[in-house]
Structure 1
Amino acid sequence: MKWNNWCLSVLAAFALVAEVQANAGWTDAAQVLELVPSTQKRFVVRLALDKNNCKSKDSFYMDYSSSGSELIYHTLLEALLANKSVELYANGVCELNGYEGFSAVRLKP
């Protein structure tokens, strides 16, 4: 019986990892709807998208400690204020609130 419980635990762990890991890559170009700084060591950006690899279809996050995060934040703020579209490089990692992490941004004309 212990062996069966262990096997079920391993299978459940693999299912959880599969749910948390998604495909990495560039999003479609979309306008920035919201840019939210927080005291929880990250900022969240919401794009005018209806699909994403994670539970939240339009929200992405980046930790302040990530390389280039300050420049990326300012680029997103510029896009929000100028009503420009951006593409995010989603890293394929979903966090508990359903947001997908990202590591780069591109401004679109």
Structure 2
Amino acid sequence: MHFALVDRAGKVVRAWRVTSGTQMALTPSALTPAIVGGQLIVQLDVSRQTGALSEHMILRLGQSGSIGKRFSLAANAVCCYDGTGASTPLRVASDGRLYQLRTDPKTGARVARYSLR
């Protein structure tokens, strides 16, 4: 999977290539990429064939081409995903944190907050 940071003139400022031994995808409801502390924040959906396991992998792509921080979120905790891309339950706010809208039939809706620093 390739990502690039492009300036206003359309010139590539930085680029990354992310590889994995598992299947990766960008889904219609993926987090809109954002810049936090000069680093690109992206979401990849990762899945394994065995047991149909899937998760949302959040990556902070460093300026030197490295992955600065990464963590995963359970794919089944995400609200409102119907496959149409009508909802984006993951967002990076102006405070530089990641917010996730989560739902559970027993506990209802809640918003989880994660530090990206």
Structure 2 length as normaliser, TM-score? 0.25
Q: RCO (CA 8 Å, sep 6+): is it higher in 1 or 2? A: 1
Higher strand share: 2
Higher helix share: 1
Q: Larger C-alpha radius of gyration, 1 or 2?
A: 1
